Structure 1
């Protein structure tokens, strides 16, 4: 047993696993401190939740693990994509936890222009499939914008060219959003500028542009790569403000050119698309104004000629008014005659129905006659009803015995008494009403009677035949006349100088009291 242990001893140095891993790590890092590796990205799933990215670089015979730390990931010019052939620059190191070696990438770029073009074509195809480049969604440019927004570098020649061309064509308010137009952050800055202009409220402290121009000078594919950013293309497509793309020269195409509403070959061309030529507008306005004045002048001339022709066909004002004037005169004369005739008719009708004492007497006599007739009818009806009830009572008394008869007689007696009371009340009420009407008629007769006029000092003159003498021209000299006063009548004889007393007539009888009422029965 002791011989076995003595034979197993050796002078080879023993290492721990950590020592071996550390030695390998130092050897690899010293040997491959800075390398450029070309390969195809495989297994890329985007940044980890920590911000780091892990994937594999491979070729047709080997694989190499790769990692991009969070700080480096934010500085890359483009984002890694699955299947892209790239050139990675960094250093090799090992990961002792899994005995693997990997490359820590400091910079990542496509493997030549062909790779960039392939990436650009793939993005273009994907965005076109989403409809971002469709012509139906592109907005027309306003004809005369008031504010122009320019997204470009504030120090380059592009902004000077745009402002110079705007000043020459149509001066307006220009708002510049300064951005980097080349480098790793250019795409994000331009996208933020587009979104910022769209976020400006109308009427705010900073004027909201009516048109946006995204501009940059010419350059290589790598220099213009920031304008192929997918986020920038989506921001331009989603912009509510129309966007003019002026990136590079006429032969340079980027994703922004496809997403924009209008693509200009140069920044200067973008300025020409944005605004019209003021001098041309003024000349066109002057031409249109002259044409409008000429048109209005010719229109007025034609209307004036038409009016003159129509006026010649119309008759003179006197001819137009002759018939109406004559008709008016005839109606005026007819109206005068009609008023006179109507007045005479009204006067005759009034004289025919004039209220006189004789008329009142006739009406009073008619009222008395009607009242007497109604009372006679009422008494006759009452007597007939009493007779009928007495007959009915006798018939009833024959059909029933003494006791019910007495009761019926008592009831009939009460009914007759009630009817008698109602009759007396009705007669008294009717007499009272007729008495009031007669009293009113008597008062009216007394008021309208000539006796009240005589009481005021007037006299009634009659001739020998008793006819009323109304005018002095009707009196014949030496004619016998009668002067009736309120208290009596005096006979006189008419002479040349006046009337002479004839004889003393008997005093007139004293008029009855208007309030006195004789018996109607």
Structure 2
């Protein structure tokens, strides 16, 4: 038991028990700082540099990381030039220094005194292998990238709804090109970020223009700056393939201008910042209005110059004529006026002539003539019917009799209906056999008679005897009664 912990018995008064006075935050922070510096006054670490910030004062702030943890580091201005390797993002280094704390933020850090390169960082090596794999599949080819629409009606944004990124994008779009913006909220850091961003891209890509939420013309995937670990979700292979396979144009705006992620290579356009992505996706409405107004004024000026040029050329040509243009047009204009004045009376006379012709023709158009013609044709039809109707009836009766005779003959000769004393020979499959050459020894056949059918088998004539049919007895003839004539037989 240390001196900081004192046993207090139940019989001691309250004032005696309060022998551990409270410390201020500053006292505790500086006590921890001294403890860290005394315990870890000289350490040697190996890790990958994931973020480098060179301050204007000359100091360098960075982050050292491995696969499970990270630690902030600082290199004072006087130690930067003496380093064996200059700090750079993705470089794996071995550093020597002391552990201290920064009381203002209650965080600990390492003050780096020496630094030497230890090889390429594991994260960068993994990223380079993945980039080489996707590049070999052609996902980085410029030919497969889609153009960004010049005048989008709907813009989709995939980002966190609570960060400053979405506010910057919305503010920039409203200034340049006021249009509809659809935000798909998702996390942009951590293990779940890659899956949620990929699901958002697929969701936007599956929308239809006539759906309840219109399909965006372009999608912006945005996130603010950060370390390599913070942006590592955007180096996911599945997310990169989803962005590459999307049919909707995608602008990547992850991190600051110096940050590079895998989706920057597979997207259709990369923007240095989220605000820059809003500028890439939208035109400037004021500039368009100014351009249209300028084109309109240029069109008006060009049209005026063209008319003035034609007017000048016409005047020049008119000066070469022997007489004034007004004198050339005077006679044709007078003829036109005269023809116009005569046109109305000429039309009236034309109508009157056609009216008289119609009246003359209509006198000959009487229904009596039509009725007489119809009666004559009706009489001729009646006479023709009375003359030829009996002959047609006789011809029809003869043809009916011939048809009935042919029908009876056809019924008699129908092989499917044998006459008494005849049979139809059929094979086992029902096909009719018409000749003896089509039969084989031992073949099973079916004999169809008028009153039914029997099965039979073919035998060779050489090895069989044909029985002689017995004659049917002839019944005695009856003689008429009273006749005594004998029978000659």
TM-score normalised by L of structure 1? 0.39
More helix by share: 1
Larger Rg: 1 or 2?
A: 1
